[in-house]
Each structure stands twice: as C-alpha cells, then as structure tokens.
Structure 1
Amino acid sequence: MKYKTQYTILFLFFLSFIYNLTIFDFSWPVDMVELVAESLMLIACFAVLFYIQPLQSFPKVYWLMLIGIAFYSVSAFMDLTEEFFVESAVSESNLDDFLKTLGFILLSLGIHRWMNLHTELISELKIKAETDQLTGLLNRRAFIQHIQGSHRAKEDEGRAFLLLDIDHFKAINDNYGHACGDHVLASTAKALKSQTRQYDILARWGGEEFLFYLADVTAEEAEDIANALRRHIQQLSFECNNQTIICTVSIGVYHATTSHCLEQEVDCADKALYQAKASGRNCVVLYQQ
C-alpha cells in the first residue's frame, strides 16, 4: 500500500480517541475558536504526512520529516483531545509540548536535508544539461552559453576558434562498428582535453567535430596550437576489440581581433575546415578573409 505508514498513524489516532471516549467523560468544548484552530492544525499535520510521500525515494529526508510531522501530529492530537476530555491522561502533563518541540526539530532537520538534496540535484541536472554524455565535454548549447555569458570574447585582443573533424570517421564506424567509433570519439576528446590551457573552452560540436575557443592568442599561435593538436592525435592509437585504430584530424582555424557574432566566427572556422578536408585532410588551414 502506497500510504501504509500514514494510514497506520491515522488508525492509531482513531483508536486513541475511542479509548479516551470509553474511559473519560466527554464534554463539548466551550471555546470554539480554539477548537477550530487545533482541528485545522491537526488536519494540516495529516496533510503533510501524505504530501511528503514522494520523498520516500530519499530515505534520509523522508524518515526525518515523517517522524517529525508524526510527533507534531501527536502533540496536535493531544491538544485537541484535551478540548473534549478535560480529565484525559495528557491534561496534567507536558508531554504534548515535548513532542511538539521534538517534532519541530526533526522536521527542521528534514527540511534542511531536503534543501541540500535539492541543491545537489539541481547541480547534477545542470552538469548533465551542459555535458555531452559520450565524451564528457561541453555540448554545443553549453559552449555557446559559456562564450556569450562571458565578456572574454569581447575583451580578448586576439581569439581563435579551432574546428576539428576526425578524418574518415564514417569508415571507422563501418569497418570497426559503432562501439569502436564511440570509443575513438571518447578517447579523442580525452586527448584533446589534456592539451587545453586553463582558459580554453572545448566542446563536442556535433558528430565527430570538436570546437576549441582559444583566448588571447595571435593567428600564428592559434595555428601552432592547432598543428600541435593534430600531431598529438596522429601519434595516438586506440585499442578496440583487439584491433588498433589510428586516426587523424583536419582543423579549420579562424582568428579575430575585432568582435563578431559567434555564429559568424564558427562559420569561418567551418569554411577553413572544409578547405583542410579538400586539401587532403590531416592538416590545418587558417581562414583567410
């Protein structure tokens, strides 16, 4: 049963009320305002007991809040019982106040854990939304946000975009299988990431393409970095299904010293990449305006 614990608590309250009804003298409350207030408090406690059910998948949060609100409900029930049974067992004790305090403390701890959990989940979702699942790099959307959300692209005296494409990747998929193709993509991404500088931004742009953003570089430095990346990938070998795969990359480089929109800058890098492929692949081409 979905609400087994909650229904058990309600049943125990019902039995307790019947017990008081058979043992003590029943009298209708005189203070109706207090009766309504205490009744609403108890109803609210019962409602919360059911509202927190979706948190059951997070036991540390769920049980703290459930026990806390259960104690608070018992205290509210005792207060309400005193309105009907003046000589009830709790009328001369402070047990209801103790349970109310304990319940409030446990409920507060549960809410604190819930907020921490919520923050962690939001952080995890943000990372998943920004990360390419296969390579662990930024995805296209996150790359654009990183560039547009910072002032670096406007402040850098010189910046460059490097668009890399794995040569003959379709042949790798056809000859070795898509699992090996995924392995090559992930391994290439790891190799590229190992070569990034502190303020560089690297993303999987789509398919077998990767996009670098280089800050504060000259055109010559950007071209040198691109050639270093190309040589680094060329020297690697990827093992998959007892087979060795060697691949190369073609790189298009666009360097700018004045501000342009991101779409235009990436488009220029893409045109340079197209020229690199047309020139025989495994090479670097700097976009010439």
Structure 2
Amino acid sequence: MIKSTAASSLYFFVIAYVALQTWLFPITYQIDLYSLFFGVMITATLLFSFVNMQKVKYNPDVYKYLMSGFFFLFVAMLTDTLDEIFVQPWLLGALFEDTGQLIGFVLVTYGIGKWIAQNNANSSKLKKLSETDDLTQLFTRSHFNYQLTNLLISPRIETFSILLINIDNFKLTNERYSQAAGDIVLKRLANKLRDCVRKTDTIARWGGEEFIILLNNSNDEIAKQVAEMIRKNTELLCVEYDQDIINITVSIGAVTYKDELKSSELINSAEQCLSKAKQQGKNKVHVRISTETE
C-alpha cells in the first residue's frame, strides 16, 4: 500500500512536470532520437530504483539518504531528457540537471556507504555470535573444529596438544541443585580454564559439560603439566549457590599431535584418553601421544 501510494505520487509528479514543460517551452527544431532514447532508458531505470527504495524502509538512516538521492537524480535525468524535446532556459538546466545530479550522487553515495558500514557491523556481530558460546563466552565446537582443520592443513604444522575436559558427576549437580546452578558451574570453570592457559591457546565448549583446549607449541610433558594444573585448580574451585558450596572435579584426556592425522582421528584419541581417565576413578588425567597404538 505504501509502495503504491509513493509510486502514484511520483507518477503524478512526472505527468505534472512534463505537462508544465509542454505548456511553458516550445519543441526543439530537431530531436536527437539517439540521445532521447538513452535519456528515457536512464530515467526509467532511476524511476524504478526510486520506487523500489521502499524495500529498505526498515532502515530509516539509509532509506532517507537513498530516497532523497535517487529523487534528485531522477529529476535531473528527467529534465535532461525533456531538454532533448523542449527548448529549456539555461537556468533550469543548471538548477535541475547539474545541481540535482551533484546533490543526488552525494546523497546516494553517502547512503550506500552508510549501508555498507552497517552491514559490515552486523556481519561482525553475527560472526561473533556463531563463534561464541552464549553461556560461557568461549568458542563454539564448530569454530574449534574450523581452527583445528586449518591448523592440520597448514604447510608447516608445529606440534600441539588437545585437552578434552569433562566435569565429573555434572548430571548429579543439576539434579541436586538445579540447572541454574549447573550453568554457574560451567561459567566458573570456563573462567578458570582461561586462567590456566596462554592467550595463544584456544578454549571451546565442546558440548554440555565438556570443554576442549588446543595448546599450541606443546608436547606430552607440557600437555600433562597443563592438564594437571587444570585438574588441581578445579578441585579448589568452590561454587556458591543458594547458601551452599558446590565442589567439582574434572577428568581430562590429553593427546599430542606428532604425525599426519585427520582432525576427527585426533579428537577420537582425546575422547579415548578421557574415557580412560573416567575409568581410573575420575578426577584423573590420562595423556597419550596421538601416534601411540591402541
């Protein structure tokens, strides 16, 4: 309805403007059909663009600049086209053609620039949302897999380690205290993990109560030291909830990359190590080199 109303008003303006020129100015002695044809085509294109600007009305900052800009360009081009038919005074051409085009281009350029800037900002926000876990503010599983895959296909791969961390008896914590308490535990542990690794390392929430860490420039000894530090620090982590103290522990499986393996094989190795840590009684660390035989 809005679009048809705007189009009707514009069509009425065009008819009135053409009728006014027909009444005021005489027809030229010789009409350049070539220039007239292209002038009509460009004018029609600008008219179509102007009418369809209603589609960006949801963005008022951009909409007002594009609408104003295309209107000035349309009027300028319409005047230029009618100049091929009618003998117009120089002042009319200078005001409506030259000045109109200048104002129109400035407004459209500014509007498009503003639109691009907004889209870039929105894209950055969406990218961050897709990469970041909403609860813990750590990286997501998909982003971790993306980084790991890129690392494995790099022409020069340096030795690195992966730590897969699982909160022991997390289901019981949720059942005894509530899911809200479980969320607090996850957030507190996420913060503790940040304190235990370097900024160059990558931490992600692997899913549920599991976390995963990629230790750059690591080896078996470093992986074991970091895993033990995380395990011991988690033992000291006291989470307060509803005037109660929740004590948690973690089991950790660690694997060090030293040979050509797919990311899925590397993760499977870490999961097997984690399973062995659980079997050993939980609150344990099990480290295995990725090339070690089963």
Name the TM-score class by shorter chain.
0.7 to 0.9
Structure 1 partner of 2:46: 45
Structure 1 partner of 2:157: 155
**Which aligned pairs between 1:14-25 and structure 2 lie closer than 5 A?**
14-24=15-25
Query: Structure 1 residues 73 and 29 mapped into 2: Cα distance closer, same or farther (>3 Å)?
Result: farther
**Which aligned pairs between 1:26-175 and structure 2 lie closer than 5 A?**
30-87=31-88, 91=92, 93-150=94-151, 155-156=157-158, 158-175=159-176
Inter-partner Cα distance in structure 2 for 1:255 and 1:15: 79
Paired residue type of 1:155? I
Structure 2 partner of 1:252: 253
Gaps of at least 5 residues in structure 2 are: none
Structure 1 partner of 2:185: 184
Query: Structure 1 residues 194 and 46 mapped into 2: Cα distance closer, same or farther (>3 Å)?
Result: farther
Structure 2 partner of 1:234: 235
Query: Structure 1 residues 218 and 205 mapped into 2: Cα distance closer, same or farther (>3 Å)?
Result: same
- 1:24 Cα deviation after fit: 4.8
Higher mean C-alpha displacement, 216-225 vs 144-153: 144-153
Q: What are the superposed Cα offsets for residues 72-130 of structure 1, whole Å, 9 maximum, x if unpaired? A: 01101212333444357965644321111111122122222222233333333322222
Paired residue type of 1:264? E
Higher mean C-alpha displacement, 120-129 vs 104-113: 120-129
Q: Is the 8 A contact 2:151 2:157 kept in 1?
A: no
Percent of matched pairs sharing the same residue:
27
Gaps of at least 5 residues in structure 1 are: none
Q: What are the superposed Cα offsets for residues 214-240 of structure 1, whole Å, 9 maximum, x if unpaired? A: 122231221111111122222223344
- 1:241 Cα deviation after fit: 5.0
Paired residue type of 1:194? D
Aligned partner of residue 83 in structure 2, secondary structure: helix
- 1:70 Cα deviation after fit: 1.1
Higher mean C-alpha displacement, 127-136 vs 219-228: 127-136
Structure 1 partner of 2:195: 194
Paired residue type of 1:13? V
Structure 1 partner of 2:263: 262
Query: Structure 1 residues 62 and 254 mapped into 2: Cα distance closer, same or farther (>3 Å)?
Result: same
Inter-partner Cα distance in structure 2 for 1:218 and 1:258: 12
Q: Is the 8 A contact 1:153 1:159 kept in 2?
A: no
Inter-partner Cα distance in structure 1 for 2:219 and 2:233: 21
Inter-partner Cα distance in structure 2 for 1:193 and 1:5: 56
Inter-partner Cα distance in structure 2 for 1:127 and 1:198: 18
Query: Structure 1 residues 256 and 93 mapped into 2: Cα distance closer, same or farther (>3 Å)?
Result: closer
Query: Structure 1 residues 159 and 101 mapped into 2: Cα distance closer, same or farther (>3 Å)?
Result: same
Between the two proteins, the alignment pairs up a number of residues equal to 288
TM-score by length of 2: 0.85
Paired residue type of 2:55? P
Aligned partner of residue 198 in structure 2, secondary structure: coil
Q: Is the 8 A contact 1:90 1:96 kept in 2?
A: no
Q: Is the 8 A contact 1:29 1:35 kept in 2?
A: no
Aligned partner of residue 218 in structure 2, secondary structure: coil
- 1:28 Cα deviation after fit: 10
Inter-partner Cα distance in structure 1 for 2:183 and 2:143: 21
TM-score by length of 1: 0.86
- 1:35 Cα deviation after fit: 2.0
Task: Give the root-mean-square deviation of aligned CA atoms.
Answer: 2.8
Inter-partner Cα distance in structure 1 for 2:111 and 2:87: 34
Query: Structure 1 residues 46 and 155 mapped into 2: Cα distance closer, same or farther (>3 Å)?
Result: same
- 1:69 Cα deviation after fit: 1.0
